[in-house]
């Protein structure tokens, strides 16, 4: 009410005349989502017209029907939730509606979802904390192999710009449907790294998040293709080109950033399709990475198994083994649809005595797991 009075005074003092692009405060400020003490969450939605309002998302696997009060405010409170970054949308008479009181949305492939953080435990790593922050840059580099200028996201740790030090580098590969935004947005990479570095649980490092779709210059909406609808399956998926062009990325980073350019200071990790990229790249550059993280993946079906990156894989793997490395980390959820593929890949490694660290978790092919894996993997590096 006070806010409205102030608003009114302000505009009267300006001489009101008709304005656009201005969001006026609502009569009664609706809070949604509201994270309650005890980690239940209350959602609210205002409409007089709907017959059924519900919520869907990983917060609320059983859904949840809202109850309407006399003012037309629909409300639903969840059970106690574990600490996590959750995504959700509302369903209003069967139509998907974003929570109009929560402007925080993340795109996941072509879907856009509301997000919220239920705090505590691991989820505190996903929050922006009052700690020194790294910088996040969207930058373009040239890939001679692909004959493309491409966009990449680069996290440099707090103090990078003013330090004289050289830093180790983690390359982080996204999955199918993702792009150079994915690890930053749903992966909360900058927040996880800021927090782990502040807690001295991870070393200060540069994190490079390339676009792993070889035919794509940049994320949908960020390239000259314009606002094109993102697709989950891209024609060049697992064509071997991303792996073949990785040298361009490496060269760009090592000639443009203050990095320690030695095996002991390089790591690569990726999820799903990016896990396949990771295991293939690390085997094709068998003396390049001391740290490898394969998240929710295995040997997937390449589009072109004759692509140079994919041929002679077993002998490349043997070479990688004999060259040595410090950590080969594999993580997968028990319910992941690639669980069998992951097991098959571990069998392949076992057969040649290729050592690795294995983490089997609950859950499936989810960002919840990938944030966990990154949070753990990052602490084991360098």
User: Which residues in 161-200 contact a copy of itself (CB under 8 A)?
Assistant: 161-162, 177, 186
Is position 122 an interface residue for a copy of itself (rule: CB under 8 A)?
no
Q: Closest distance between a copy of itself and the C-beta of residue 199, in Å?
A: 15
| CB contact set of 255 (below 8 Å; sequence gap of 6+) | none
- In degrees, rounded to 5, the angle at the alpha carbon of residue 182 between the alpha carbons of residues 178 and 183 is 130
Q: Closest distance between a copy of itself and the C-beta of residue 84, in Å?
A: 13
Q: Which stretch binds a copy of itself (CB under 8 A): 76-84, 121-129, 206-214, 346-354?
A: 121-129
What are the C-alpha distances in Å from 70 to residues 23, 91, 146, 342?
Answer: 26, 20, 61, 53
DSSP calls for 103-134:
--EEEETTEEEEEEEE-SGGGGGGS--SS---
Is position 112 an interface residue for a copy of itself (rule: CB under 8 A)?
yes
Is position 266 an interface residue for a copy of itself (rule: CB under 8 A)?
no
CA atoms within 13 A on the CB side of 56: 13
The answer to whether the bond into 360 is cis (omega within 30° of 0) is no
Identify which of residues 231 and 327 has a Cβ nearer to a copy of itself in the complex: 231
Is position 151 an interface residue for a copy of itself (rule: CB under 8 A)?
yes
- In degrees, rounded to 5, the angle at the alpha carbon of residue 273 between the alpha carbons of residues 268 and 117 is 80
> Under rule CB under 8 A, which residues in 19-58 are in contact with a copy of itself?
19-25, 31, 47, 49-50, 58
- In degrees, rounded to 5, the angle at the alpha carbon of residue 271 between the alpha carbons of residues 185 and 160 is 55
Is position 220 an interface residue for a copy of itself (rule: CB under 8 A)?
yes
Q: Closest distance between a copy of itself and the C-beta of residue 100, in Å?
A: 6
Dist CA 73 CA 44 (whole Å): 7
> Under rule CB under 8 A, which residues in 340-369 are in contact with a copy of itself?
340-341, 364-367
Q: How far apart are the first and last CA of the chain?
A: 54
Considering only residues 337, 357, 360, 379, which one is a binding residue for a copy of itself as defined by CB under 8 A? 337
Considering only residues 27, 65, 121, 140, which one is a binding residue for a copy of itself as defined by CB under 8 A? 140
Q: Which stretch binds a copy of itself (CB under 8 A): 72-80, 203-211, 225-233, 239-247?
A: 225-233
Considering only residues 41, 115, 123, 196, which one is a binding residue for a copy of itself as defined by CB under 8 A? 115
Burial pattern 183-210, b for ≥16 Cβ within 10 A else e, equals bbbbbbbbbbbbbbbeeeebbbbbbbbb
Q: Which stretch binds a copy of itself (CB under 8 A): 107-115, 198-206, 279-287, 322-330?
A: 107-115
Q: Which stretch binds a copy of itself (CB under 8 A): 71-79, 223-231, 307-315, 346-354?
A: 223-231
> Under rule CB under 8 A, which residues in 64-103 are in contact with a copy of itself?
92-98, 100-103
Considering only residues 68, 138, 260, 346, which one is a binding residue for a copy of itself as defined by CB under 8 A? 138
Residue pair 55/10 in contact (Cβ under 8 Å)? The answer is no
Considering only residues 55, 59, 60, 117, which one is a binding residue for a copy of itself as defined by CB under 8 A? 117
Identify which of residues 35 and 318 has a Cβ nearer to a copy of itself in the complex: 35
Is position 276 an interface residue for a copy of itself (rule: CB under 8 A)?
no
Is position 264 an interface residue for a copy of itself (rule: CB under 8 A)?
no
Residue pair 314/350 in contact (Cβ under 8 Å)? The answer is no
């Amino acid at each position: 009410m006070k806010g409205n009075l102030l608003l009114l005074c302000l505009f009267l003092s300006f001489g009101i005349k008709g304005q656009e692009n201005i969001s006026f405060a609502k009569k009664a400020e609706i809070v949604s989502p509201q994270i309650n003490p005890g980690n239940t969450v209350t959602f609210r939605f205002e409409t007089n017209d709907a017959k059924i309002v519900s919520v869907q998302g990983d917060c609320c696997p059983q859904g949840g029907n809202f109850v309407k009060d006399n003012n037309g405010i629909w409300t639903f409170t969840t059970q106690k939730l574990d600490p996590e970054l959750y995504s959700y949308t509302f369903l209003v008479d069967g139509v998907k509606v974003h929570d109009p009181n929560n402007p925080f949305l993340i795109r996941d492939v072509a879907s856009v979802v509301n997000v919220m953080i239920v705090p505590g435990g691991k989820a505190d790593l996903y929050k922006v904390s009052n700690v020194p922050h790294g910088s996040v840059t969207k930058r373009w580099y040239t890939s001679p192999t692909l004959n493309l200028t491409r966009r990449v996201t680069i996290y440099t740790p707090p103090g990078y710009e003013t330090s004289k030090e050289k830093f180790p580098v983690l390359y982080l590969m996204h999955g199918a449907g993702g792009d150079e935004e994915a690890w930053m947005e749903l992966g909360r990479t900058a927040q996880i790294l800021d927090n782990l570095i502040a807690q001295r649980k991870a070393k200060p490092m540069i994190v490079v998040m390339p676009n792993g779709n070889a035919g794509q210059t940049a994320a949908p909406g960020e390239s000259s293709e314009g606002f094109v609808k993102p697709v989950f399956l891209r024609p060049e998926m697992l064509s071997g080109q991303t792996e073949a062009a990785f040298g361009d990325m490496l060269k760009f980073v090592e000639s443009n950033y203050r990095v320690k350019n030695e095996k002991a200071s390089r790591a690569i990790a990726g999820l799903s399709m990016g896990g396949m990229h990771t295991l293939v790249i690390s085997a094709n550059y068998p003396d390049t990475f001391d740290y490898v993280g394969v998240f929710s993946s295995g040997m997937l079906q390449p589009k072109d198994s004759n692509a140079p990156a994919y041929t002679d894989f077993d002998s490349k793997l043997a070479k990688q083994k004999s060259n040595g490395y410090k950590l080969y980390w594999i993580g997968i959820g028990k319910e992941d649809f690639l669980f069998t593929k992951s097991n098959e890949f571990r069998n392949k490694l076992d057969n040649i005595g290729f050592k690795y660290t294995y983490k089997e978790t609950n859950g499936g092919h989810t960002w919840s797991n990938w944030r966990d894996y990154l949070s753990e993997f990052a602490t084991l590096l360098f």
